[in-house]
């Protein structure tokens, strides 16, 4: 429960400023306190004064009947309010291209430098920056786009403000609704944007732009590593599996059945063909590679909440795929040591449902700055025990569409699926020649170095802005 601070009580005059809203959100979220602080700055401008484009530069798309396709020639990547926070955009759903390019939806194509704000539902109020590699994406009606006017403000500086704790409290304070949260453009049009000397704003903008470039390089490097792997093992046809364009798994028979499984999905012809192709080249089973390492879920434990000064951040399946996780803080002293991960551990989301856009069977690589986090038992931990098969190389394989489809075929359970303990050890992992393995692993490591560097630059930009606002406000 949130309550108003005694040092900053809710004043009756604030009700008129908020359109006589009687819900608590704008008063206890810190939005009014932030507005009062920004009023002490020498210069601010309303958000709508520094934007341009459709509806003044603060807009979202119309509701319409969506038609999804899988062929890249006839479709475009479609970004939802959850997807806009993802680090890896490879698996985005794809919208029918002719619909996307129609007059009704043409303005929903993203432009690098835009700030995206999720405007409805569970994720309402979160922000993201449109990177250089997102220009071919279209955004759903659940995303509010902020298009800066380059003649009045730098895009990176505006994003830094909206991402900062000041921007967050203002945006979150604009959210309304009970069961389903919402933000409308006119709710944020008047947000005061602080202005400083051009040198400072340019410096912050440059940091954000470099951050965006590094995150785009992170994405392209991972894609390159996976393509390199399949070319190196002689299976270039598995770079683009085109799963949904293959004949459906209907009316097949299986001659050899044992006590391992009786579920039809575990013997689906398309998945078995994938496994046969992967096993047709030199390689090892996943169980062999992880012998001496780990191939199992994390430990179950009781969560004891803690403050950030004395705790660690717990990452679950939902937040693990975001650019920056927002897990709860728990006490590491009150939990077993197995909650941490060793370098280059692959975490595979191992519990969930079979929806096409769900994270179930999607992998993460834990390295660099993400080693400081702890992880729930809902991840399947894959740790190589073979020094000749680096975890980074394994990750390049597991992030592929071929590995994803193979993992999905090993599902067991009812509503919440899991990955069959016995069958997952039999997954054939193709092994490229040693020199190729090292090159592929190096590409993956470079990608994560770019990601960590991007986070550092973003934090630096936010620190510069925060210091400038606090000093100017006295």
Q: Are residues 158 and 281 in the same domain?
A: no
What residue numbers bound the domain in which 376 lies?
A: 234-250+264-431
Average pLDDT over residues 187-198: 94
- Residue 180: inside a domain, yes or no? yes
- Residue 207: inside a domain, yes or no? no
pLDDT of 179 higher than 90: no
- Residue 360: inside a domain, yes or no? yes
Q: Are residues 48 and 121 in the same domain?
A: yes
How many C-beta atoms surround the C-beta of residue 442 within 10 A?
A: 15
Q: Are residues 51 and 131 in the same domain?
A: yes
Q: Are residues 274 and 332 in the same domain?
A: yes
Q: Confidence class of residue 20 from pLDDT cuts 50, 70 and 90?
A: low
Q: Are residues 164 and 244 in the same domain?
A: no
Cα 67 from Cα 73, distance rounded (Å) = 15
- Residue 22: inside a domain, yes or no? no
- Residue 380: inside a domain, yes or no? yes
- Residue 244: inside a domain, yes or no? yes
Q: Are residues 273 and 134 in the same domain?
A: no
- Residue 139: inside a domain, yes or no? yes
- Residue 220: inside a domain, yes or no? no
* Spatial CA neighbour of 359 closest among 88, 4, 50, 31: 88
Helices 391-398, 434-473: crossing angle, 10 deg rounding: 90
pLDDT of 171 higher than 80: yes
Q: What is the pLDDT of residues 314-329, one digit of tens each?
A: 999 988 999 988 879 9
Q: What is the pLDDT of residues 139-164, one digit of tens each?
A: 999 999 999 999 999 999 999 999 99
What was the pLDDT predicted at 275?
Answer: 95
Q: Confidence class of residue 251 from pLDDT cuts 50, 70 and 90?
A: confident
Domain harbouring 357, CATH code: 3.90.220.20
Q: Confidence class of residue 29 from pLDDT cuts 50, 70 and 90?
A: low
pLDDT of 1 higher than 50: no
What was the pLDDT predicted at 25?
Answer: 62
Distances (CA, A) of 348 to 25, 119, 220, 415: 37, 29, 21, 18
Average pLDDT over residues 336-358: 92
Range of lowest pLDDT (52-61, 179-188, 207-216, 290-299): 179-188
* Spatial CA neighbour of 116 closest among 95, 147, 90: 147
Q: Are residues 273 and 421 in the same domain?
A: yes
Number of domains into which the chain is organized? 2
Report if pTM > 0.85: yes
* Spatial CA neighbour of 77 closest among 149, 12, 131, 7: 131
* Spatial CA neighbour of 335 closest among 383, 377, 363: 377
For residues 417 and 461, is the Cβ–Cβ distance under 8 A?
Answer: no
pLDDT above 70: percentage of residues in the chain: 93
For every residue of 156-184, DSSP letters joined together read HHHHHHHHSHHHHHHHHHT-B-SSS-B--
Distances (CA, A) of 199 to 40, 210, 239, 425, 471: 21, 17, 46, 57, 16
Cα 281 from Cα 279, distance rounded (Å) = 6
E-assigned strand segments in 286-370: 294-297, 312-315, 329-330, 345-349, 363-366
pLDDT of 6 higher than 70: no
């Amino acid at each position: 429960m949130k309550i108003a601070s005694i040092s900053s009580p809710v004043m009756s005059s604030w009700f008129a400023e908020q359109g006589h809203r009687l819900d608590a959100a704008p008063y206890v979220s810190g939005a009014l306190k932030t507005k009062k602080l920004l009023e002490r700055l020498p210069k601010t401008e309303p958000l709508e004064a520094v934007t341009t484009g459709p509806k003044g530069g603060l807009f979202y798309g119309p509701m319409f009947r969506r038609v999804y396709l899988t062929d890249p020639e006839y479709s475009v990547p479609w970004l939802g309010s959850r997807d806009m926070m993802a680090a890896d955009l490879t698996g985005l759903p794809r919208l029918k291209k002719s619909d996307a390019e129609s007059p009704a939806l043409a303005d929903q194509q993203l432009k690098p430098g835009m700030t995206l704000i999720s405007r409805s539902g569970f994720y309402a109020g979160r922000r993201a920056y449109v990177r250089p590699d997102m220009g071919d994406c279209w955004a759903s009606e659940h995303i509010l786009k902020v298009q800066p006017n380059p003649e009045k403000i730098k895009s990176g500086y505006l994003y830094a403000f909206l991402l900062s704790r000041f921007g967050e409290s203002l945006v979150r304070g604009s959210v309304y609704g009970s069961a389903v949260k919402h933000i409308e453009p006119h709710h944020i049009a008047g947000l005061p944007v602080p202005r400083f000397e051009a040198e400072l704003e340019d410096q912050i903008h440059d940091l954000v732009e470099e951050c965006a470039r590094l995150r785009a390089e992170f994405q392209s490097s991972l894609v390159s590593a996976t393509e390199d792997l399949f070319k190196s093992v002689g299976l270039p046809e598995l770079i683009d599996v085109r799963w949904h364009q293959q004949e459906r798994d209907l009316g097949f028979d299986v001659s050899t059945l044992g006590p391992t499984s009786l579920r039809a999905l575990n013997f689906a012809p398309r998945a078995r063909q994938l496994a046969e192709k992967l096993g047709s080249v030199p390689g090892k089973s996943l169980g062999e590679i992880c012998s001496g390492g780990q191939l199992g879920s994390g430990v179950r434990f009781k969560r004891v909440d803690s403050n950030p000064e004395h705790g660690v951040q717990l990452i679950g399946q939902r937040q693990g795929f975001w650019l920056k996780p927002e897990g709860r803080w728990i006490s590491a002293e009150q939990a077993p040591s197995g909650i941490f991960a060793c370098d280059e551990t692959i975490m595979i989301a191992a519990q969930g449902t079979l929806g096409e856009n769900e994270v179930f069977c999607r992998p993460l690589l834990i390295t660099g700055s993400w080693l400081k986090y702890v992880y729930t038992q809902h991840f399947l931990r894959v740790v190589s025990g073979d020094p000749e098969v680096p975890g980074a190389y394994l990750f390049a394989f597991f992030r592929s569409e071929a590995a994803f489809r193979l993992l999905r075929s090993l599902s067991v359970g009812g509503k919440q699926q899991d990955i069959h303990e016995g069958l997952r050890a039999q997954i054939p992992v193709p092994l490229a020649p040693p020199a190729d393995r090292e090159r592929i692993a190096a590409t993956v490591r470079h990608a994560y170095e770019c990601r960590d560097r991007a986070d550092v630059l973003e934090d630096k930009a936010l620190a510069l802005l925060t210091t400038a606002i606090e000093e100017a406000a006295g």
